[in-house]
Amino acid sequence: MATTRRSLPLLRTLIAGKTQTRTVTYMPRPGDGAPRPVTLVPGDGIGPLVTNAVEQVMEVMHAPVYFEKYDVHGDMKRVPQEVLDSIKKNKVCLKGGLRTPMGGGVSSLNMQLRKELDLYASLVNCCNLPGLPTRHENVDIVVIRENTEGEYSGLEHEVVPGVVESLKVITKFCSERIAKYAFEYAYLNNRKKVTAVHKANIMKLADGLFLESCREVATKYPSIKYNEIIVDNCCMQLVSKPEQFDVMVTPNLYGNLVANTAAGIAGGTGVMPGGNVGAEYAVFEQGASAGNVGKEKIVEQKTANPVALLLSSAMMLRHLQFPSFADRLESAVKRVISEGQYRTKDLGGQSSTQEVVDAVIAKLD
């Protein structure tokens, strides 16, 4: 009995020591704590709801950012020049979804932004969140997609009435730089494997060039395993054994399909963060949209899920070198999801957007 009494204080000390550890993040340069301007584009549909959620959380956290807000909508012919100038000045943008008209020859503002700013890499992080039930466990996939060419090149014309020719453009330059970005991401984030997704068995020249570029880059990263998979088999493997994938690098169209599939497997588009990045600029947004921008009922009832954009804004804070703020925000969001009391309808709950935001704010350390 005496031995037991003596061991209790020691046990408490050990437990306290485990829970009160301190970690060093990074050594900032003098002046790095100055607030940074960020261009904010609320966008269409649920966009204003979820971007407002980010604004509220940032204000409560006293995060060192301030927003320059611009009204942009998907039915505009072009992204206003003042918006482009703001992003070029600030280097960083946070945006909600922009509606893309179906057919009719109207170009997508999302594509205009990516091409104008040369945001050649799209990154979507699809992973299980603790406490959120999904069909598969141990999913932690990063989809890195080439963002400027391929089927999205926008080179279409009507040859004769009833016959449309659409050109897919693949270049060695763009294929190499997206492969380099994928391997660099894997290397810096302690990822073990990069998988190239392709259809080179049919598109032997176009996708063949993409594969050749990936193989060349892979030789420069011997510590990272490299493999390849045909896109149709990839989709089948994603829905059956998604845990086998780590980092995936893809041409433009395949990446869109793969990212949304992986997002659905890991909990839905409402919780997957993402962003678009180039050598100079970065635009952060919901990682996988899958058409939820235009769901008017969600907008009217104010039940849009803000989790994806909140996690994207945490990615943005890390990009701006404010890691402790990013950690606080991510931890609060994950605690709300884990406890399960406040969830929007897409996650099986009945909460409004504001109720989820209030819950996240209450969990901020």
The superfamily (CATH) of domain 35-120+270-364 is: Isopropylmalate Dehydrogenase (3.40.718.10)
Contacts of 237 (CB under 8 A, 6+ apart): 229, 244, 245
Give me the sign of the Cα torsion angle 63, 65, 69, 72. negative
**How far, CA to CA in Å, does 139 sit from each of 224, 237, 250, 263, 336?**
19, 12, 18, 10, 20
State how far the Cα of 58 lies from the Cα of 64, in Å rounded to an integer: 8
Q: Which fold has domain 135-266?
A: Isopropylmalate Dehydrogenase (3.40.718)
State how far the Cα of 93 lies from the Cα of 114, in Å rounded to an integer: 12
Judge residue 343's burial from the number of C-beta atoms within 10 Å of its C-beta, 0-12 exposed, 13-18 middle, 19 or more buried: buried
At 11 the pLDDT is 46
276 contacts 147 by C-beta, under 8 angstroms? yes
Higher pLDDT, 314 or 98: 314
The answer to whether the 35-120+270-364 and 135-266 domains have the same CATH topology is yes
Helix, strand, coil share (%) of the chain residues, nearest 5: 45, 20, 35
Among residues 153, 150, 124, 246, the alpha carbon closest in space to that of 191 is found at 246
pLDDT at residue 24 greater than cutoff 70: no
Question: What is the percentage of the chain residues whose pLDDT exceeds 70?
Answer: 89
pLDDT tens for 220-273 read 999 999 999 999 999 999 999 999 999 999 999 999 999 999 998 988 888 999
Residue 177 DSSP symbol: H
Please list the residues that pair with 274 across neighbouring strands.
124, 285
pLDDT at residue 29 greater than cutoff 50: yes
pLDDT tens for 116-136 read 999 999 999 999 998 888 888
Among residues 262, 259, 198, 195, the alpha carbon closest in space to that of 224 is found at 195
199 contacts 167 by C-beta, under 8 angstroms? no
pTM score, two decimals?
A: 0.88
For the chain, give every domain's residue range. Answer: 35-120+270-364, 135-266
DSSP string for residues in 121-138? EEEEEEEPPTT---SSSS
Provide the 10 A C-beta neighbour count for residue 179.
Answer: 27
308 contacts 287 by C-beta, under 8 angstroms? yes
